[in-house]
Chain A
Amino acid sequence: EAGVTQFPSHSVIEKGQTVTLRCDPISGHDNLYWYRRVMGKEIKFLLHFVKESKQDESGMPNNRFLAERTGGTYSTLKVQPAELEDSGVYFCASSQNPPTEAFFGQGTRLTVV
């Protein structure tokens, strides 16, 4: 069974540019989550989808971040325009319903210069 996959694994962009991160959850997992870890700190929740619907986006930092989950399958997280403080590792995870544990992707390391 394929795990959660994220693309790209690394991205280096300039301040002001746009970046789109992609996450493919485990097939059949209705729940999809985005998390972010800024260097050395805790992994922080960004948002949660159930199928294509946003259930909780309380962790989204500001309106420069836009997450979508088309058709309830893969998800994208767009940062536009990127700022220096957006640098970090962005994790995607998925889980079944009801949720037991979340399965994580390898993360996307975003560096804004």
Chain B
Amino acid sequence: AQSVSQHNHHVILSEAASLELGCNYSYGGTVNLFWYVQYPGQHLQLLLKYFSGDPLVKGIKGFEAEFIKSKFSFNLRKPSVQWSDTAEYFCAARIVGGFKTIFGAGTRLFVKA
């Protein structure tokens, strides 16, 4: 069955700490991969996406993610977090040519000022 797993449900960091959120997917074919973020009181918005090409993808607000096909992983990273990064982060996958997006359970990040 298609699924997306996020390793951590809650993460607490201090400002300036580095961030890595784990994501693994299980799919029967080639996938497009996404990270979405939901800031408190706001809608889900796209941080970054991987369709093809360079497996290291740069997104908004200094985030990046690396697609490692052999590990079925798409981990999100940021070298130095800010208080404003406090949000919930969702990893998602969609089979190439498909429409249905499968989401992970989300990771709540709290950054202490």
Listed in ascending order, the chain A residues whose CB lies under 8 Å from chain B are 3-4, 31, 33, 35, 40-45, 48, 55-56, 58-59, 91, 93, 95, 98-107
A48 CA / B100 CA spacing, docked (Å): 8
Q: Which of B1-53 contact A (CB under 8 A)?
A: 4, 9, 34, 36, 42-46, 49, 51
Name the one of B34, B45, B105 contacting A41, with C-beta atoms under 8 angstroms: B105
Given A101-B46, A104-B45; A40-B105 close (CB under 8 Å) = yes
Question: Do A107 and B43 have beta carbons less than 8 Å apart?
Answer: yes
**Chain A nearest Cβ from B94, distance in angstroms:** 8
**Chain A nearest Cβ from B43, distance in angstroms:** 4
- Count how many chain B residues have C-beta atoms less than 8 Å from C-beta atoms of the other chain: 23
Is B110 among interface residues, defined by CB-CB distance under 8 A?
Answer: no
**Chain B nearest Cβ from A26, distance in angstroms:** 12
Question: Do A104 and B43 have beta carbons less than 8 Å apart?
Answer: yes
Sample of 6 further A-B pairs with CB below 8 A, known A42-B103, A43-B90: A42-B4, A42-B104, A42-B106, A45-B102, A104-B44, A104-B45
Output the nearest chain A residue to B36 by Cβ-Cβ distance: A104
Given A3-B43, A101-B49; A45-B105 close (CB under 8 Å) = no
Is B101 among interface residues, defined by CB-CB distance under 8 A?
Answer: yes
Question: Do B99 and A55 have beta carbons less than 8 Å apart?
Answer: yes
Residues of A within 8 A of B92 (CB): 43
A91 CA / B51 CA spacing, docked (Å): 24
Question: Do A45 and B104 have beta carbons less than 8 Å apart?
Answer: no
Question: Do B4 and A99 have beta carbons less than 8 Å apart?
Answer: no
Given A101-B49, A104-B43; A42-B99 close (CB under 8 Å) = no
